[in-house]
Structure 1
């Protein structure tokens, strides 16, 4: 049975559009009715980007909490429960909001809206500001939902720092079909004279759009590769900025790209004015957690269905840029032992499946494509198998992740090393997997 908060949100989904309608007018009106809670927040670290923004949020939270600060965290989308979007700061580490607290906040915000036209995401973002303004904390980490300029989170007038993580093509119907256009939208979170941190960017055109925006708005800014950077040396992460070097453990999040994400977070919390001792940075690198981002599934109901001894990874990355960094992370695993790689993939219809699959050409032995239970926008699994074929991969559609795991187990040659299985292609699918496995985010 749905919890109280889930019932309140489901009621709103029946009244208001579920999708995005990018504008700030509706949420500004609603926040004004609520007494402008977004103006009564602790210092805000505002994070945008196509890929890596979730990791930057996770690293920033780990850094601040390791240094003894209390931190509110807003992320979206959730994986299993709506509550995951709201983590309230507490001594010793923040906690996902309790059901009664969330239910009351959602009810109050909906009543303040009084049935006026609005999207559910805007209502839930207003809930973020209500919760975070009414519970004390030292900092807020605020993840952008979509884009930046017209995202509902972009009502913060003076962020302690705006962070722009790697930008690539995604959400083209909303944001534009060229990376420069997408960069301009995401640069919309940059506010006049407020500090900016620009994470690692593949495209020089993107970097220039972000730098030019910061300069035009008279913002102090720092750029990855220019003002700060990180690299691996002898199994350690070296972080460097204009204050010196730190010799740190490798990040707990898998993949070489996480070194740059960690560096952006270190630079962001320092730029925001927080003092983070080096021992706290060391702790944060190993304690950081981010569900469904190269998350190893060790136990659970689905794990029990796999070939005994299988190595199972879950990642919600869903565009060609994410495919590339995930494939690179998997390739680092290949260095350790020679397990054959199998993909179990589901995607929604706003993504580029061929571009995603191309990252795994020459790596994956076979792909099982699956429908996505929790989204009506899933690509039909037979069409997704065709996309995998177009990318040069062997593929077949099956009915579910459970089905794929059983087929693989029942046909496995026991003389071969147990497989490495990557489940991914969508955060919706990742959420379904964590729910079915009995291991939801905590």
Structure 2
């Protein structure tokens, strides 16, 4: 099979169901049964759900586990530049040969029966995990939790719920309580669950679910506490106090994500070296990532070029807190967003920090907002907005105004992925 083998199979898989998202577990159970139930043969699972921060939190847990000498499988979504990013086998990105093999096997086992792209590719990941030795398996929920394709493990060693906020209402419900109920669907009988900071409405639902299942909770503000003091991270739980470096990921919101990861690592009996590694060694692309090479960086000249994939109101607030930290350079946004998001809610926290916003459409995405629609939403949020044909044109317009600007490309992981694919 040539290097394009997995791309061909993935393209074929896109046509197996008329919808991109159709939440149910029936199709997963059928396919996994046909594959010999690989979900039963994986290394111990840590299952992570939440609206914001689950990717960063999972990345810190992984860095901590690896810092303690453990090998971890990792499943995340969506990918940014290549599908292979979604699957790590004992720490390494899955090879083209291994990916092609499991995709082919899942396609053959499924036949022409209806199944979504996410479901069949998740099954492929679980199949790969079942065949490769490791100490842990880290699974990130794709959407929701209760009916997500990853929610097929009966007895994970730990579940994690990062902060829950309003997002994906068309699939998860209109209220915070309804959405929290979907996230809490990953809680399993008797299995401990680490819970990040929550609004009362969400926490009430999570606590009720855990009580029903006899699942012990480790809740932010009750069982563990985290803060930053004097340029250090301070974490405290019943096991004592940790004085650690701040996480390598930027932003005040990463302090709380770090707390969730540390609570998980402490529950797993990983030592202080693992906790320090979780802070120092974590990497997670498109989370306030400074771009340091490639054609766009060359085009930027003296300007700073940053990339962020956050896309809902809570992500907008987190991003605003990073921008408020400095530097003092004037900030200009290049933004593209999907039509399924709360655009004004995302942009409103950014308004005080943005000199201008140049709106673009996301290349290759059918659900993209037009540049005109994104610019209109930005104006409604109080931002001086213009339209641009593409990111390069937006950069040129900004640089003509201020060659020393801080330029932040933001609004969607799909836009971030396009940037990372092209800027290498």
Asked if the contact 1:164–1:199 (Cα under 8 Å) also holds between the matched residues in 2, the reply is yes
Supply the distance in 2 between the matched residues of 1:135 and 1:420 (Cα, whole angstroms): 44
Counterpart in 1 of 2:292?
298
Q: Deviations over 1:77-98 (max 9, x none)?
A: 0111111110111xxxx11100
Correspondences of 1:131-150 after superposition (within 5 Å): 131-150=128-147
CA shift at 1:374, angstroms? Answer: 3.1
Counterpart in 1 of 2:74?
73
Counterpart in 1 of 2:411?
425
Residue aligned with 1:279, SS: helix
Counterpart in 1 of 2:194?
197
Residues 1:390 and 2:387 aligned together: no
Counterpart in 2 of 1:321?
314
When structure 1 is superposed on structure 2, of 61-70 and 276-285 the one drifting more is: 276-285
Counterpart in 1 of 2:88?
87
Counterpart in 2 of 1:256?
252
Residue aligned with 1:54, SS: helix
Supply the distance in 1 between the matched residues of 2:130 and 2:67 (Cα, whole angstroms): 23
Counterpart in 2 of 1:228?
224
Supply the distance in 2 between the matched residues of 1:369 and 1:169 (Cα, whole angstroms): 24
Supply the distance in 1 between the matched residues of 2:371 and 2:400 (Cα, whole angstroms): 21
CA shift at 1:342, angstroms? Answer: 0.5
Supply the distance in 2 between the matched residues of 1:18 and 1:105 (Cα, whole angstroms): 23
Residues 1:161 and 2:158 aligned together: yes
Counterpart in 2 of 1:179?
176
Supply the distance in 1 between the matched residues of 2:28 and 2:261 (Cα, whole angstroms): 28
Q: Deviations over 1:30-81 (max 9, x none)?
A: 1001000001111100000000000111001000000000000000001111
Counterpart in 1 of 2:35?
34
Residues 1:381 and 2:371 aligned together: yes
Count residues in correspondence.
Answer: 423
Supply the distance in 1 between the matched residues of 2:358 and 2:57 (Cα, whole angstroms): 31
CA shift at 1:409, angstroms? Answer: 2.0
Supply the distance in 2 between the matched residues of 1:400 and 1:226 (Cα, whole angstroms): 47
TM-score normalized with structure 2 length: 0.98
Unpaired segments ≥5 residues, structure 1: none
Unpaired segments ≥5 residues, structure 2: none
Runs (4 or more) in structure 1 with deviation over 4 Å come to none
Residue aligned with 2:85, SS: helix
Asked if the contact 2:399–2:405 (Cα under 8 Å) also holds between the matched residues in 1, the reply is no
* Equivalent residue for 1:246, pick from 242, 247, 250: 242
RMSD: 1.2
Asked if the contact 1:305–1:409 (Cα under 8 Å) also holds between the matched residues in 2, the reply is no
Residue aligned with 1:14, SS: coil
Supply the distance in 1 between the matched residues of 2:200 and 2:192 (Cα, whole angstroms): 21
Asked if the contact 1:374–1:428 (Cα under 8 Å) also holds between the matched residues in 2, the reply is no
Counterpart in 1 of 2:303?
310
CA shift at 1:193, angstroms? Answer: 1.0
CA shift at 1:411, angstroms? Answer: 3.5
Q: Deviations over 1:250-277 (max 9, x none)?
A: 0000011111111111111332x3x322
Counterpart in 1 of 2:275?
281
Q: Deviations over 1:121-141 (max 9, x none)?
A: 110010011000000000000
Asked if the contact 1:18–1:121 (Cα under 8 Å) also holds between the matched residues in 2, the reply is no
Residue aligned with 2:351, SS: coil
Counterpart in 2 of 1:109?
106
Asked if the contact 1:369–1:381 (Cα under 8 Å) also holds between the matched residues in 2, the reply is yes
